[in-house]
A and B are shown apart, each in its own frame.
Chain A
Amino acid sequence: MKKALAFGLLAALTAVNARADSYPQRPITMVVPFAAGGPTDIVARIVADPMSKALGQQVVIENVTGAGGTTGITRASQAAPDGYTIMMGHMGTHGAAPALFKGLKYDPATSFDPIGLAAGTPIVIVAKKAFPAPDLKSFVEAVKAGGASINQAHAGVGSVSHSTGVLFDSQIGAKPTLVVYRGTGPALNDLMAGQVDFMTDQIVNVATQINGGTIKAYAVATPERNPSLPDVPTTKEAGLPGYEVSAWNAVFAPKGLPEDVRKKLVAALDAALKDPNAKKRILELGGTVPKDGEAGPAALQKLVESEVARWTPVLRGAVEANQ
């Protein structure tokens, strides 16, 4: 009896020890705040695979959808900061959300321990095939001159196409009529059919249609051209240098991670992004992987702060004009 008790005690002691220095002991949940199959989900699944290998435990994706992604992020932000719940945030949940959702229960800059940027998907300015303007400059002029007679599509308040589209309008000083869709698919359908004039959206959603010739692209909003659309100029080349925007995805954890756990997660994400297979798949989708200065927690913290500062004035104005 005594022996068994001592044995049990010993086992318990080693277990405590093991927990302290060998995180992770069980699978890790990565909350994706959007539906399976969407751009954020795809990035999460591509990254989760090599992260699992680096951590030695499975990183399991849980899709918790709703309210522009804030439902999932709110829930994940309230989880215990033990490293077993992490999340894939994005431009909307950690940039645009404070301007769009009044009762937001988290602060993108202070409620999280940033782990690092995972991928960016560049924004492309696309228009219906029959739109007369030959290049970006004359397109911008046409949109400005057309006023409310121009129809701009977007995939719902808070979506990437909404935020980036409103930013585009405010930068060029145009006021087109906004036509709302539930998701990018139906918006793209009407763009192909010529029901609406233009929209701004993530490259992964529009690249095949551009290459298939059913819609046309005026510019990619990144500093460099994108390999999946080699003939499309950048906004800088085409004469609109101020419009540089990308829908980024980044890994966050609830605030208050133990230092060793935080370091392990940062290292795992770093390893995942260096994995040649993961890198190749992100690039194939037209996405970008973080450059040296963009990777890691400190850069992410800075990105979040600058994004909140960038989106808040633009979106507050747009949302108030709508109500």
Chain B
Amino acid sequence: MADLFSNLGLGFSVALGLQNIALCFLGCLVGTLIGVLPGVGPIATIAMLLPITFGLDPVGALIMLAGIYYGAQYGGSTTAILVNIPGEATSVVTTLDGHQMARQGKAGIALGTAAIASFFAGTVATLLIAALGAPLTKLALIFGPAEYFALMVMGLAFAVVLAHGSVLKAVAMILVGVLFAAVGTDLETGQERMTFGFAFLTDGVDFSVLAMGLFGIAEILRNLDQTEARDVVRERIGRLLPGLAELRQAAPATLRGTAIGAILGILPGNGAVLGPFAAYTIEKKIAKDPSRFGRGAIEGVAGPESANNAGAQTAFIPLLTLGIPPNAVMALMVGAMTIHGIIPGPGVMTKSPDLFWGMIASMWIGNLMLLIINLPLVGVWVRLLKVPYRLMFPAILMFCSVGIYSINSLPTDVMLIGFFGLMGYLLIKFGFEPAPLLLGFVLGKLMEEYLRRSLTLSRGDPMVFLERPVSAVLFIIAFAILAAALLPSLRKSRDEVFTEA
């Protein structure tokens, strides 16, 4: 314990240096701004800003880049709430209730709740990294391919619960998502699948392309044909910050979300992506009135947002202690560290303690800054909703196109968001929800990989999933969730049959 305090003391003495505070602030500010611009994600920004950090000392450079990363997570929720565009896989869930709240004139409350929940989660996760970072690394090594596959199956079970309409339609959407994930070059054989000979499909469909099309562009199309609905958002804006009653309502959800997100974030196999989905599922399951979800429930914002932010922080554990990047942004951080002559891995904590603890301390400072930057900005963002739609839509379209082009510099990506936009519009019209599709897409790719890898390692024996205790437990949870989701709807349809008779 004394160690922890002296380490944190060292960390804060590094992070509170004038230059590092300034860099942390700059990173958070840039991160928030690019998070708010649809399409320009943290990956593109960190890649672009990497050369600028060459002149800085490594600690300062990494503090700034880390600030961009979690700043973008924050900003991404802002677009999810305001214009229904999830910037990353982890903010898909925030669109469900967050955007509904915005449509009901409660955008400020949703944004404020998101900011406060994220701050709380960030604080807890920072402490967790500081206290338990090294021992938690072991968890990463317990998870082999079979465990990850079981985890992803559990994730798909969550997706069924996510939908608030027909379970059958949700399952259909998940399967379409899994199919989209199968497009591209097969990892093991190098064969092309479902590319129809198009070169731009050889690497599959990009998540941002799919998300921006299905959510952002489709939302614009939908708004264009509903003339009445679009005035609702504009006229009633309501209070800017959540009141005491709302905070009390959001608090338990924040606590649960933080715990779930922090645990899943430690897993290097992209487990963090499940955090918000898991948090949302749990909130919906334990709520007294689950029908409020999808119609602007504040717990549906607080839970996933805290899970998202907690996961974003704990994702640094495998990076700093094992040298293994759990996602694309972290892979970029590895590159950034390497360029600065620090190769992340088991040695960082002992070899450069100032860097290790300085970064951890700066995470908390960064979270505080994000709160300070974001709470006053809530008013600005909300006022953005007052911008007339004839000006706002072209602006969103332009930002989406520029943003998506900046990721891979491929013109075909810009055309694809148009295609997926149209698809998303038709899906909404026919009563299908796009969120399960997106989750199916994200998990489908990982699931296939882990399934084939586990079976390669077990030489084709499927019993491996039940023989390994962690994987067996995860499978049992998945089936329990599925049963809980399916039974009421089965019963309901039987009731309907009876009423009709």
Contacts and interface: CB of A to CB of B under 8 A. Distances in A.
Interface of A: 35-38, 41-42, 45-46, 49, 61-67, 71, 100, 148, 151, 156-158, 177-183, 185-186, 188-190, 192-193, 195-196, 204, 207-209, 211-214, 281, 284-285, 319, 322-323
Nearest to A36: B47
Contacts of A66: 202-203, 408
Contacts of A207: 343
Contact of B324 (A46, A180, A189): A189
B188 A41 contact: no
A249 to B, nearest CB: 14
B199 interface: yes
A37 B331 contact: yes
A171 to B, nearest CB: 22
B453 interface: yes
Given A151-B457, A322-B190, A185 B268 contact: yes
Given A179-B453, A189-B141, A208 B345 contact: yes
Interface in B375-403: none
B5 interface: no
Given A49-B54, A189-B140, A64 B408 contact: yes
Interface on chain B toward A: helix, strand, loop, or mixed SS?
Answer: helix
Report the interface size class on chain B. 35 or more
Interface string B298-335: 00000000000000000000100011110010011111
A45 B203 contact: no
B193 to A, nearest CB: 13
A312 to B, nearest CB: 15
A49 B347 CA distance: 29
A210 B164 CA distance: 50
A63 B54 contact: no
20 contacts: A35-B331, A36-B43, A42-B335, A62-B409, A64-B409, A67-B185, A67-B199, A71-B202, A157-B187, A157-B188, A157-B189, A178-B188, A179-B456, A180-B449, A182-B449, A185-B324, A189-B324, A208-B345, A211-B347, A285-B338
A147 B459 CA distance: 13
A186 B324 contact: yes
A42 B338 contact: yes
A65 B200 CA distance: 11
A34 B167 CA distance: 41
Contacts of B203: 65-67, 71
A185 B325 contact: yes
B165 interface: no
A195 B335 contact: no
Contacts of A192: 141, 322
A157 B332 contact: no
Contacts of A195: 144-145, 457
Contact of B334 (A37, A65, A157, A193): A37
B268 A37 contact: no
Contacts of A322: 188-190
A209 B323 contact: yes
Interface of B: 43, 46-47, 50-51, 54, 140-142, 144-145, 185, 187-191, 199, 202-203, 268-269, 318, 322-325, 328, 331-336, 338-339, 341, 343-347, 408-409, 449, 452-453, 456-457, 459
A182 to B, nearest CB: 6
A42 B185 contact: no
Nearest to B146: A195
A208 B202 CA distance: 34
A36 to B, nearest CB: 4
Interface on chain A toward B: helix, strand, loop, or mixed SS?
Answer: mixed
Contacts of A196: 457
A182 B187 contact: yes
Nearest to B143: A193
Contacts of A61: 51
B144 A193 contact: yes
A156 to B, nearest CB: 5
A179 B188 CA distance: 8
Contacts of A188: 323-324
Contacts of B54: 45, 49
Nearest to A179: B456
Given A49-B54, A186-B324, A190-B145, A181 B408 contact: no
Given A157-B187, A214-B346, 9 more contacts: A45-B50, A49-B51, A66-B202, A157-B190, A180-B452, A182-B187, A190-B145, A204-B338, A212-B345
Considering the complex of A and B, which 3 residue pairs feature the smallest CB-CB distances, nearest first? Answer: A37-B335, A208-B345, A212-B346
A37 B47 contact: yes
A321 B190 CA distance: 12
Contacts of A37: 47, 50, 331-336, 338
A35 B456 CA distance: 28
Given A37-B331, A45-B51, A181-B453, A100 B339 contact: no
A212 B347 contact: yes
A38 B449 CA distance: 22
A99 B278 CA distance: 44
A191 to B, nearest CB: 10
Contacts of B140: 189
Nearest to B148: A186
Given A156-B187, A322-B188, A209 B346 contact: yes
A114 B323 CA distance: 35
Nearest to B335: A37
Contacts of A212: 345-347
A186 B343 contact: no
Nearest to A208: B345
A270 B343 CA distance: 27
Nearest to A209: B345
Q: Among A36, A65, A148, A196, find the residue whose CB has the most chain B CB atoms closer than 10 A.
A: A36
A195 B456 CA distance: 11
Contacts of B141: 189, 192-193
Given A67-B203, A156-B187, A209-B323, A36 B268 contact: no
Given A37-B334, A195-B145, A209-B346, A319 B190 contact: yes
Contacts of B318: 189
A163 B452 CA distance: 21
A229 to B, nearest CB: 12
A196 to B, nearest CB: 8
Contacts of B199: 67, 71
A322 B186 CA distance: 11
A179 B142 CA distance: 18
Q: Among A37, A45, A207, A285, find the residue whose CB has the most chain B CB atoms closer than 10 A.
A: A37
Contacts of B189: 157, 319, 322-323
A134 B453 CA distance: 28
A129 to B, nearest CB: 11
Contact of A208 (B46, B328, B344, B459): B344
Contacts of A148: 459
